[in-house]
Amino acid sequence: MNQRRGARYVDPSVQGGIVLRMMFYWTAFFVVGLVIAFAVQVLSNPLEPMAQHMSHVWQNQGPFILAAICLLPIYAYDLIRFSHRFVGPIIRFRRVVNEAADGEVPPPFNLRDKDYWKDFASDLNRLFERMRSGRTPQES
């Protein structure tokens, strides 16, 4: 079963938090990498003027800098898509649990093929089946 959801960014607090955390790590790695590259450049020839060091760092590390900057939005987009595989099911679980709390017994539901939490979905479906049939745990 390959169901599709329309939106990918479904829980801004969770998915936004994950993306912000990734961007923090990316920025920290990027800044540390630049500082190390600059330090190595300065230590290799400490008598050179600072402008010359900056020029050498750009010549030597420019492709890395451009590649890292270009990859950041790709990483963010992919992380949103990936997080949707576990955030989407949680939103679905909240909806069916709220239905049950309101006195309705939700119909059986399935998750997408690549979603996480399938065991939990099976457990909820078993609970709702028991609620539909009116059985108690001792009667099973």
The pLDDT tens digits of the residues spanning 100-124 come to 999 888 999 899 999 999 999 999 9
Interval 22-27 mean pLDDT: 96
139 domain-assigned: no
Terminal-residue alpha carbon distance, the chain? 29
Q: Which domain holds residue 63?
A: 13-133
The pLDDT tens digits of the residues spanning 70-81 come to: 999 999 999 999
Report the alpha-carbon distance of residue 121 to residue 107 in Å, rounded. Answer: 12
Does residue 38 fall inside a structural domain? yes
140 within domain boundaries: no
Give the pLDDT score at 1.
47
Quick one: pLDDT band at residue 10, thresholds 50, 70, 90?
confident
CA gap 108, 121 in Å, rounded:
9
pLDDT score for 49? 95
CB atoms within 10 A of CB 48: 13
Prediction pTM value: 0.73
Token pair belonging to 116: 């996480």
Asked whether residue 8 is domain-assigned, the answer is no
pLDDT at 135 over 80: no
Q: Please, are residues 80 and 9 in contact by the beta-carbon 8 Å criterion?
A: yes
Q: How many domains does the chain have?
A: 1
In a domain, 2, yes or no: no
